[in-house]
Amino acid sequence: MDRQELGKFGENAVAYYLEKKGYRIVRRNYRVKGGELDIIAEKDGVIAFVEVKTRAPEPLVNGLEAVTAAKKKMMIRTSEEYSYRFPHDLQPRFDVVWVTVADRKVVGFRYVENAFDASR
């Protein structure tokens, strides 16, 4: 599985997880110049902007550490652009998910709600 397939596999797993939790997936791979949001989902007055990091077992950098300050800034900027283009009254939240995949199976899954906020 190449890097792109691995990433898509992880995103599909997260989308499935969110749907099972009652979220409505609004968009996937929302792109603007300079940024992308992997998944945008809504539930109970919250709009979750979700970053998915998919890794093979025992990576050099785990998925949570891979969300750098620059990545957070990009996610905030992209979520602001999304909210401008598609106005809503929902409370924004930034989630990060670390998915570990081996032999085309999810062998690890860590979902962090509210991993950071726009003030950091």
Q: What is the pLDDT of residue 120?
A: 53
Say if residues 98 and 55 touch (Cβ distance below 8 Å). yes
Q: What is the pLDDT of residue 38?
A: 97
pTM comes to 0.93
Rg (CA), the chain: 14
3-state SS track over 51-64: EEEEECCCCCCCCC
As given in the structure block, the two tokens for residue 10 are: 């992880």
Q: Angle 87-12-58 (CA atoms, 0-180°, nearest 5)?
A: 120
Phi, psi torsion values for 80, nearest 5 degrees:
-65, -40
Three-class SS state of 68: coil
Distance CA 22, CA 17 (A): 9
Q: What is the pLDDT of residue 93?
A: 97
Domain ranges of the chain: 3-116
Q: What is the pLDDT of residue 116?
A: 93
Distance CA 27, CA 39 (A): 6
Three-class SS state of 91: strand
Q: What is the pLDDT of residue 8?
A: 95
The mean pLDDT values, 10 residues at a time, for the chain of 120 residues are 90 98 97 95 98 86 83 95 97 96 92 87
Stated as kind and residue range, the H or E segment containing 17 is helix 3-20
The CATH number of 3-116 is 3.40.1350.10
Q: What is the pLDDT of residue 34?
A: 87
